Amino acid sequence: MFGLTDGLGFARESNRAMLALARREAPSNTRRSPATNLLIAPRCELVLPSLETMPVEHRFLSDDREVLALAEILVRSNIATEDDWEKSGRDATKCLSLSLQRWMRDHGAAAIDRRFDLDLTLSDRLVDYSDQRGPEGTLYLILDPDGAAFVLLKPTLELLETVHPRLPSTFFMHFAGSLNRWVRVYDYHDAEERVDMLREWYEGDEDREQYEVPDIEGCTPPGLKEPALSFRGLKELARGIRDPEVQALIQGLLELCRVSSRAKRPDFTEDMGEQLMDANPPLPCLLAAFTQGDAVVACFDDEAQTAMETTPHPNLIIPLQLSNPSNVRQGFRILGVACETLAATSRLIDLMPGNDDGVITREGQP
């Protein structure tokens, strides 16, 4: 699910709601019945208060200056709207959450939710529960998966090969490359690296012959060894394609390439490196296999066993410098491009044969 995970100002261990017992004054005893206090228990003077006139939520924030600063910038930049402010009950934290959710909806969240399971976090640090924050006045937008989406490539590659021998390699290069610009794709190249590492591990073992490694080369279509066409070459080739199914695939791929290149990924800064010094590689947002249960899937499953032993590196980090409103606006523009790239990828996978089973059904959906 493409949801919002609460970071700075959204979720803190010090946030708590409190209900106190109230003491009600007992009325004066105007009756003179003898010794009634000896016959029945006295009235309990501790009762729960009525909630009708009380706020439904109490929040304590030790320091919300950065939240307020970001909210002000978003309002002045028309990223947060007056409607967000009114719906939030004029609460800066809620206003930020509503604004981020609306921003994602406006940049393809519905299409993304069909295939990807992602969280967007706004935080003052890159590692949960770490004492090491980013520089003062800096917040981070962090995009990461809860699980990897799945795409089968072989049916599409076989279809494209009937049109042009270089189309399979061209499609794969631009498909994986456009998405890899923003999030991690696990494909046969990653699997080959995994196999090489396994062979190095087994090299010094006397019983190395009994170990089997996944056959990546055997499951990789030969057409991927053909030289890929450039983006310009792909556009020229597309003009002559008459097959409507192939034409739809190529147009979807061209759109993905165009969207993905509209912005530059933020630079990885020194302070990010210090916070992520011991982090594992990013978790894949997409597993691109050729067939169900092939050698690429086997390598992915093998790596998944140890992926969470150390905190993984986030897929996408967008720093927001609150002292520089133009930097914040640029950060949200970058986030928009990343979201639109994921949405374009999801729409393209919908067109790829053999991928009907990859659609995610959400709670409440048929």
Instruction: Report whether pLDDT(92) > 90.
Output: no
pLDDT tens sequence across 70-85:
988 998 999 988 888 8
The strand ranges marked E within the chain are: 3-5, 22-23, 46-47, 117-123, 138-147, 149-152, 185-186, 286-289, 316-321
Instruction: Report whether pLDDT(167) > 90.
Output: yes
pLDDT of residue 12: 31
pLDDT of residue 91: 85
Residue with the bigger pLDDT between 215 and 9: it is 215
Instruction: Report whether pLDDT(343) > 90.
Output: yes
Mean pLDDT of 252-264: 98
Look up the pTM and report it. Answer: 0.81
Q: How far is CA 195 from CA 214, 302, 303, 304, 360, in A?
A: 7, 10, 11, 14, 30
Confidence of residue 202 (pLDDT cuts 50, 70, 90): confident
